C-alpha cells in the first residue's frame, strides 16, 4: 500500500451533498482530464489532465499585486501556471484561480470521509466523475480500493472510453457504474465528441454481458443526442443488450453562463434547454421498446 499512497491524482472539484449521482448523500469527486470533447460538455475545465490557471474578469478588482492586471490576464490567456501560479496564490478575490489540485490517496480519502456520518445515515457514498476518471487509472483504482476498505459505497461515472482491462480491474471496488451513451452513429459521434464510439459501445456490451452493476445514462441534447433517429438506435442497442432501463439527463443551458466568465476556447452552444415535452417524447419512444427511462434532474 506504500506504493498506492504515493500515487496522486488531479481533481478539479469535490462536491458534497451531491444527490443525483447514486444512492443517498454522496460526495462527488471530479477528476481532471478527458479523451472526449463533447460539444455540450458542461465541465470544459475537465478537458486538460493538468492543473491550469483560470481567470474570471468579473471578480477582478485590478489590485496590482505582483504586477497583475485585468488587461494583462486577458492578453496572456491561456495563462501559464509557471508564471501565473504565484499571482493566483495571492489574488485577493480569487479572480485568478487554479483549476485542478493534486491529491494523494490518503488526502482524498480524508476529504471524502468528512461526510462519513452523512453517508452512513443515508446509504450514500463516493462517486467519481470527471472528465474521464479512468484516465488517471492507477490513482483511481487505489482510491476506490481505499474507499472500499473504509466501508464506503462507491460509484463511477464514465464516458466508457477506456481499456476494458481497466474496467475489469475496477469492478471489484465499485458498487455502481454510470455509463454514458451518447450518439450511436459512428460518424456523428466523432463529429460531436471528437472520439470513436466503437470502443465505448464494446465496453458497454461487455459490462452488460458480465452482469456488472451498470446503469446507462444518456445526456439529452437537442439536435445532437435527442434526435428521433439516435433515440431509436439507442433503444435498439439497449434491447440487444437486454438492458431494460436507462437514465435520461435533459440538457440545461444555464451552464453556458459559466463560459462567459472563464477564459476558455470552449464555445457556447447557443442551444435551448430541452423542454419537458421533448423529454416526454423520448421517454415514450423508449418505452415502446419496453425500456423504462428515468429522467434525472442532477
Provide, rounded to whole angstroms, the least separation between the CB of residue 88 and other proteins: 11
Rounded-to-integer distance, Cα 255 and Cα 40, Å: 10
- The strands making up 245-250's β-sheet, listed across from edge to edge, are 101-104, 8-18, 26-31, 125-129, 153-158, 176-180, 214-220, 245-250, 292-295
Nearer to other proteins, 121 or 149 (CB): 121
Rounded-to-integer distance, Cα 208 and Cα 248, Å: 18
Give the C-alpha distances (Å, rounded to integers) separating 56 from 5, 31, 76, 233, 261. 34, 22, 13, 41, 5
Rounded-to-integer distance, Cα 8 and Cα 142, Å: 10
Provide, rounded to whole angstroms, the least separation between the CB of residue 25 and other proteins: 5
Binding mask 51-70 for other proteins (x = CB under 8 A): ----------x-xxx-----
* Number of residues lying near other proteins (CB under 8 A): 30
Binding mask 87-126 for other proteins (x = CB under 8 A): ---x-xxx-------------------xx-xx-xxxxx--
Nearer to other proteins, 127 or 134 (CB): 127
- Classified as helix, coil or strand, 218 is strand
Alpha helices (runs of H) in the chain, residue ranges in sequence order: 2-6, 70-76, 81-90, 105-113, 116-122, 137-149, 164-170, 186-193, 198-209, 228-240, 256-261, 276-288
155 sits near other proteins (criterion: CB under 8 A)? no
Contacts with other proteins in 16-35 (CB under 8 A)?
Answer: 16-21, 24-25, 28
Nearer to other proteins, 95 or 224 (CB): 95
Provide, rounded to whole angstroms, the least separation between the CB of residue 281 and other proteins: 22
Cβ count near 245 (within 10 Å): 13
Interface ranges with other proteins (CB under 8 A): 15-21, 24-25, 28, 42, 61, 63-65, 90, 92-94, 114-115, 117-118, 120-124, 297-298
Amino acid at each position: 500500500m506504500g506504493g498506492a499512497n504515493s500515487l496522486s491524482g488531479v481533481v478539479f472539484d469535490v462536491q458534497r451533498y451531491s444527490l443525483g449521482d447514486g444512492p443517498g448523500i454522496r460526495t462527488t469527486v471530479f477528476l481532471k482530464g478527458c479523451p472526449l470533447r463533447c460539444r455540450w460538455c458542461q465541465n470544459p475545465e475537465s478537458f486538460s489532465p493538468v492543473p491550469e490557471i483560470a481567470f474570471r474578469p468579473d471578480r477582478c478588482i485590478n489590485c496590482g499585486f505582483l504586477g497583475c492586471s485585468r488587461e494583462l490576464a486577458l492578453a496572456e490567456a491561456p495563462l501559464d501556471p509557471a508564471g501565473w501560479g504565484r499571482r493566483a496564490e495571492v489574488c485577493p478575490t480569487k479572480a485568478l484561480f487554479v483549476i485542478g489540485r493534486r491529491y494523494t490517496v490518503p488526502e482524498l480519502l480524508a476529504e471524502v470521509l468528512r461526510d462519513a456520518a452523512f453517508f452512513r445515515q443515508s446509504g450514500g457514498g463516493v462517486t467519481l466523475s470527471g472528465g474521464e476518471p479512468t484516465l488517471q487509472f492507477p490513482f483511481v483504482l487505489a482510491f476506490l480500493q481505499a474507499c472500499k476498505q473504509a466501508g464506503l459505497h462507491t460509484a463511477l461515472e464514465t464516458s466508457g472510453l477506456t481499456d476494458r482491462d481497466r474496467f475489469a480491474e475496477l469492478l471489484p471496488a465499485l458498487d455502481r457504474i454510470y455509463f454514458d451513451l451518447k450518439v450511436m452513429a459512428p460518424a456523428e459521434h466523432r463529429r460531436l465528441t471528437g472520439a470513436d464510439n466503437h470502443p465505448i459501445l464494446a465496453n458497454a456490451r461487455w459490462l452488460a454481458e458480465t452482469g456488472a452493476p451498470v446503469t446507462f445514462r444518456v445526456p439529452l441534447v437537442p439536435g445532437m443526442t435527442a434526435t428521433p433517429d439516435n433515440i431509436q438506435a439507442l433503444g435498439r442497442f439497449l434491447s440487444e443488450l437486454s438492458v431494460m432501463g436507462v437514465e435520461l439527463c435533459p440538457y440545461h443551458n444555464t451552464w453556458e453562463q459559466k463560459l462567459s466568465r472563464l477564459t476558455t476556447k470552449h464555445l457556447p452552444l447557443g442551444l435551448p434547454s430541452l423542454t419537458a415535452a421533448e423529454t416526454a417524447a423520448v421517454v415514450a419512444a423508449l418505452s415502446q421498446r419496453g425500456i423504462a427511462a428515468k429522467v434525472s434532474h442532477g
